[in-house]
Amino acid sequence: MDEGDRPTDGDESADRDERNRSESATAHDGGGGVSDELEDEASDGAGGDAPDTEPEPGSRPEAEQSGEPDRADAHDGASHGADSHDGASHGAGSHDEAPRDGEDIATKAGLGSTRSSDSDPDESFLYRFRHDREGALMWIREMLSSVAVVLLVGLLLFGVSGVWPPMVAVESGSMEPNMQVGDLVFVTEPGRLAPDAAENGVGVVTHEVGQEVDYRTFGSYGSVMIYTPPGRTGSPIIHRARFHVTEGENWYDRADDRYHNAVDCESLANCPAPHDGYITLGDNNGAYDQASGLSPPVRAEWVNGVARVRVPYLGYIRLVATGQVELNEAIARTVGSSLSPASSGFSAAG
């Protein structure tokens, strides 16, 4: 290549200024054409228009003048950076705007809930009734829960026993020491859960039969039954069945003379037997119920139930509630003290 074909510094500077102005205009318009110009220049350079000889000292070929294209690229990058910055600004705006919308929605939802709860006081009261941990509603809830549990247990016991109430409270000491005042006794209806030794529809095993077959309940032979004779206005009687008699029977010879003071059947009350029934006795009493006049021989239809299990002290709740035992007496008996005399009588259940 001849010396005259080499680009001069002036021409190169002019071309560079024109290119810079073109790139600036393109960058100002959006920066979309810079890459196209650079690709065209690269194509032109590859086409063979580049000078064959080395550039003059002090001047650098365009391919090595990395500063100028870098300046254009930097400008273009700055433009894109600005766009990115604008995009980031828009993103930040969107980010800020979304929580504001969410807060508005939450606020609206909260206001709606408040309006709903304000407009529905029953729901608010129900929520407080279920979740309050102090105050009147909590006490009412606990009291009702306790009553519900007691009723549920009572219904379950009724399903097992078949008689209502399924439990009775011992009121007197006539069955001591095997039953104490204040005991709560679980009762089953006549005939239910009857043992094999009971050869009747009542499910009662007498003391006499219990000795023969070794059947014991509550510390002695035979069954303890709850019965109410005709004309009795007080609580039912809970005593042990000693033996069974038939109508017209002279039962004097079968009786234990420790529990009567008669010398013959004529001097013994209810002898001969006016009808079929059970001769009964409290374990702590000195006379048969029939010898003392408490009751005639107990007919099967007078039997309310048969005692099965006793729970100490729980019967005091009912006795105190009904006024049959004073609170201080119940406390004294429970802790084993003797602050007042024990109640007397033959009845033991209510």
For 290-348, write each residue's pLDDT tens digit. 999 999 999 999 999 999 999 999 888 888 888 878 888 778 877 764 444 443 333 35
DSSP secondary structure code for residue 235 in this structure: P
Residue 169 has pLDDT above 70, yes or no: yes
CB-based contact 300:206 (threshold 8 Å): no
Per-residue pLDDT band for 11 (boundaries 50, 70, 90) equals low
For 183, list phi and psi in degrees, rounded to 5: -70, 145
Q: What pTM was estimated for this model as a whole?
A: 0.57
114/254: higher pLDDT? 254
Ranges 108-112, 132-136, 219-223: which has the least confidence: 108-112
pLDDT in tens, 119-161: 455 568 778 777 778 878 788 888 888 889 888 887 887 787 7
Q: Check the CA dihedral 163-167-170-171 and report its sign.
A: negative
Radius of gyration of the chain (CA): 54
Q: At what angle do helices 67-119 and 121-131 cross, to 10 degrees?
A: 90
Ranked by mean pLDDT, the top range of 43-52, 94-103, 278-287 is 278-287
Q: What residue type is 199 in one-letter code?
A: E
Mean pLDDT of 242-249: 97
Count of other CB atoms within 10 angstroms of residue 19: 16
Name residue 243's beta-bridge partners.
279
| pLDDT tens digits for range 29-75 | 444 444 444 444 444 444 444 444 444 444 444 444 444 444 444 34
Query: Could you tell me if 272 and 251 are in contact, meaning their C-beta atoms sit under 8 angstroms apart?
Result: yes
Nearest to residue 184, comparing CAs of 165, 200, 209, 199?
165
Burial of 162 by CB count in 10 Å (0-12 exposed, 13-18 middle, 19+ buried)? middle
| Token digits of residue 175 | 């069955």
Residues of the chain with pLDDT > 90: what percent? 37
Structure tokens at 249: 């029977």
- Whether 129 and 141 have beta carbons less than 8 Å apart is answered as yes
- What confidence score (pLDDT) does residue 282 get? 97
